[in-house]
Amino acid sequence: MLELIRGQRLPLSSITPSSSVEVAFDTQGPLALDLACFGLDAQGKLSDDRYMVFFNQPESPCQSVRLVNPTTFGLSLAEVPPSIDKLVFTAAIDGQGTLRQLGASRFRIGDAGLSRAACAFAGETFAQERAIMLVEFYRKDGVWRLNAVLQGFNEGLDALVRHFGGVVAEDAAAPAPAVGHVSLEKKVAAAAPQLVSLAKKAQVSLEKARLTDVHARVGLILDGSGSMHNQYKRGRVQEVVNRLLPLAVHFDNDGQLDCWAFGDLPQQLGSVNLQNFHDFIDTDHGGWRKWELGSRINTEYRVIEQAIEFYRRSRSSTPVYILFVSDGGIYDSRRIIKLISEAAKLPIFWQFVGLAGSNYGILEKLDDMSNREVDNCNFFALDDLHDLDEETLYDRLMEEFPGWLRAAKAKGIVA
């Protein structure tokens, strides 16, 4: 087993090749210690308080950091979102005493139940300190590295929280310190508390897909044909708006969701935001029954053309995510193929969703088209929006967007 010394830095891969890592702490002496892990951003701040993992919050989103028992953390480093730049493991005295009372102690790094490295420390290293920064994992040049910090801290756990930019309970009435990133949940809670549950679930999927730092515009295209009447009447289309809005709030600084509907003719609707979302379908442009869509049959290519032209006019390389909802009965497949193929050179990703219909035709095959600059679309179908729980729905919506982003960046399509 590798023996580490105080202040030593080395690549984590020199200890274990696994991204599933265990960090365990063996302490001796009369002190009761509370362990915590702080997930910090590039500025060294706790910009998302859900990444403080301790006895009262034993796991982070996606379970990438877990307190599996009072002395051991389990890490899934591949799942830690890019917004988290450093993981700092600390111990603070619960009750009276100072760290000088520590007996012979150590922390251990390993995997699969095996210890592969350890670092010894004891009370003589410290004086009157009541907390300690033990070890940190940090990113450098795209890889995780380890620093055996072993630095004492004069006060306890609350002081550590404040040191890293967090807020403790008794500080709640005071203004929180400025941070570089506000969680999606907090953005939504301020204006639309009824969407907080959706925002939490969307955040988890965004973290899994490593999309927490992505800036994008979000568009929604809604089938307004006669066969969709029951979906509008039952509120299912409004639910689509509700579920997509947290993604728009996350991706776009303006928190706006661009929206279109189509029958034989397309109509650009107003933008959806946290102020007007709750009855958007029933109120925008007089409500869905009054939308000017021509005859209520499907002519998909016209709305696709309109959306492409709308984003093309912005002359921006900011990525665009469009959710296109249809119940099938597709018209003029050749024009759709041509438009989506040509749009592969643009910073637009198309997520087609079939909702409670059939005969989705070419929409099911667009993902497999060849001779495109990049694969710029995906499709899945639902008999009912409630067939998928919200977590799974967000995972499906984000399934191919990250891969498209990587490919589009490689081709210079997006910034």
C-alpha 403, offset from chain centre = 15
Q: What pLDDT does 153 receive? A: 79
Confidence label for 298 from pLDDT (cuts 50, 70 and 90): confident
Asked if pLDDT for residue 175 goes beyond 50, the answer is no
Asked if pLDDT for residue 174 goes beyond 60, the answer is no
Q: Which of 115-119, 182-186, 360-364 is least confident?
A: 182-186
**Mean pLDDT in residue range 16-39:** 92
CB 46 within 8 A of CB 40: yes
**Mean pLDDT in residue range 223-242:** 92
Q: What pLDDT does 40 receive? A: 92
Question: How many CB atoms neighbour CB 371 within 10 A?
Answer: 6
Q: What pLDDT does 290 receive? A: 94
Asked if pLDDT for residue 35 goes beyond 90, the answer is yes
**CATH 2.60.60.30 domain position(s) in the chain:** 2-171
Asked if pLDDT for residue 169 goes beyond 80, the answer is no
Under CATH, which architecture does the 2-171 domain have?
Sandwich (2.60)
Distance CA 353, CA 105 (A): 56
Q: Which residue has the higher pLDDT, 365 or 172?
A: 365
Output the CA angle 156-159-161, nearest 5 degrees. Answer: 110
Asked if pLDDT for residue 114 goes beyond 80, the answer is yes
Q: What pLDDT does 398 receive? A: 92
**CATH 3.40.50.410 domain position(s) in the chain:** 184-410
Q: What pLDDT does 104 receive? A: 94
**Mean pLDDT in residue range 37-42:** 92
Percentage of the chain beyond pLDDT 90 is 55
Question: How many CB atoms neighbour CB 348 within 10 A?
Answer: 25
User: Across the chain, how many H-helices and E-strands are there?
Assistant: 10, 19
Confidence label for 167 from pLDDT (cuts 50, 70 and 90): low
**Mean pLDDT in residue range 45-54:** 87
Q: What is the pTM of this model?
A: 0.58
**Mean pLDDT in residue range 291-298:** 87
**Mean pLDDT in residue range 165-182:** 48
Give me the residue label for tokens 């095996």. Answer: 114
Tokens of 312: 């093309």
Task: Identify the CATH number of the domain defined by range 184-410.
Answer: 3.40.50.410
**Mean pLDDT in residue range 184-192:** 76
pLDDT tens digits along 301-353: 999 999 999 999 877 889 999 999 998 888 788 999 999 999 999 999 999 99
Q: What pLDDT does 194 receive? A: 85
Cα-Cα-Cα-Cα dihedral sign, residues 113, 119, 123, 126:
negative
**Mean pLDDT in residue range 175-195:** 63
Asked if pLDDT for residue 253 goes beyond 80, the answer is no
- Count Cα neighbours of 141 within 13 Å in the Cβ-side half-sphere: 4
The pLDDT mean for the chain works out to 88
